[in-house]
């Protein structure tokens, strides 16, 4: 009887030890995951304050995405190892566990090729600086979308288009990225000053019309227009006023129609023979324009 009691007592003691080991392992894994996530969020918070201690990677979308990718990978490894140790306590062979996990991972990878392509595409966009958060871009692929980059994720890139819609584009469908590095499309209107008309008066008319357009169509004209009076050249002798607009891509018709019509109407009040061709609009940056 004493032997039987000792056998059961020893068995219970061993079971209690294993249970305590399993509980301790689970708690340790959870604490380690929490510490890892806390450190990552601290680094991200510091990157927003421009005080990131890892100075070699300070670009927000790149740093945040890579940090969260690393944290997700570390978290997966911690739980994977913890699960293996947990199963080992119940007699499961670790070799069989790793083999089954490999087969399962291979099956998932075959069924998630689109996801893998999205992740690879997202990392490519981030590390090759194809775009950055806040950039105004035109993205082509399965569809063409123009908007401001809101977020670059591992699965989707989010743009805010002209209509303030959130557009989620799968990274694998992005074929070409056209950036507008100056924050918009440059439109230049060249207003020829009629002969006999004071140049400063023409500047005042153009400036007032341009700023009125900016105030009324702030969603299209993205910044305050720049006005410059150009003195007549020795060759042609023409005097004109140049107005530089920063407009949302694809919305240049506002300058070509509304602005031109208002300017032509104002100039005809000064010179009845003023013609439409005297107010051309171009979209090529001019090197001599003073900014």
Count of other CB atoms within 10 angstroms of residue 74: 15
Domain count, the chain: 3
Tokens 């996530």 belong to 37
- What tokens does 226 get? 């720049």
Same domain, 238 and 273: yes
Residue 80 has what pLDDT?
Answer: 74
Residues 47 and 125: their CA atoms lie apart, in Å, by 20
What is the enclosing helix (H) or strand (E) of 166?
A: strand 166-170
83 & 22 share domain: yes
pLDDT of residue 50: 53
Domain that holds residue 267: 185-282
What pLDDT was estimated at residue 255?
Answer: 94
Write down the residue that tokens 């005297």 correspond to. Answer: 278
Which pLDDT belongs to residue 90?
67
Which domain-ending residue is among 77, 111, 145?
111
What is the Cα–Cα distance from 149 to 137, expressed in whole angstroms?
A: 7
CA 129 to chain centroid = 10
Q: Tell whether 120 is covered by a domain.
A: no
Could you give the 3-state DSSP secondary structure of residue 282? strand
Mean pLDDT by 10 residues, the chain (291 residues): 46 62 71 75 61 47 64 72 71 68 58 68 78 86 86 85 91 88 86 87 93 93 89 68 92 93 93 92 60 36
The pTM assigned to this predicted structure is: 0.62
H helices present in the chain, as ranges: 2-48, 60-88, 94-111, 113-127, 199-216, 253, 260-270
CB 291 within 8 A of CB 230: no
| Within a domain: 288 | no
Is residue 117 assigned to a domain? no
Distance CA 213, CA 120 (A): 44
**Which H or E run contains 160?**
strand 156-161
Residue 12 falls inside a structural domain: yes
């Amino acid at each position: 009887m004493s032997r039987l009691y000792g056998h059961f007592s020893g068995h219970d003691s061993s079971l209690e030890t294993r249970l305590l080991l399993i509980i301790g392992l689970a708690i340790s894994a959870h604490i380690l995951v929490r510490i890892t996530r806390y450190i990552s969020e601290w680094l991200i918070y510091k990157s927003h304050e421009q005080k990131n201690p890892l100075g070699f990677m300070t670009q927000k979308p790149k740093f945040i995405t890579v940090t969260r990718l690393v944290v997700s990978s570390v978290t997966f490894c911690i739980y994977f190892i913890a699960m293996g140790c947990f199963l080992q306590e119940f007699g499961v062979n670790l070799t069989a566990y790793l083999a089954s996990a490999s087969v399962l991972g291979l099956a998932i990878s075959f069924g998630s090729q689109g996801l893998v392509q999205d992740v690879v595409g997202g990392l490519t966009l981030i590390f090759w600086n194809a775009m950055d958060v806040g950039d105004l871009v035109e993205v082509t692929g399965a569809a063409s979308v123009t908007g401001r980059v809101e977020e670059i994720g591992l699965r989707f890139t989010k743009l805010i288009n002209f209509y303030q819609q959130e557009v989620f584009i799968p990274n694998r469908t992005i074929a070409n990225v056209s950036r507008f590095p100056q924050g918009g499309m440059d439109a230049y209107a060249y207003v020829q000053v009629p002969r006999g008309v004071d140049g400063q008066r023409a500047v005042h008319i153009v400036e007032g019309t341009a700023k009125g357009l900016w105030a009324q169509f702030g969603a299209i004209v993205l910044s305050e227009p720049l006005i410059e009076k150009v003195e007549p050249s020795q060759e042609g002798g023409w005097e004109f006023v140049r107005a530089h607009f920063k407009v949302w891509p694809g919305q240049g018709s506002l300058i070509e129609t509304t602005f031109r019509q208002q300017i032509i109407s104002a100039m005809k009040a000064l010179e009845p023979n003023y013609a439409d061709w005297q107010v051309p609009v171009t979209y090529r940056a001019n090197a001599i324009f003073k900014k």
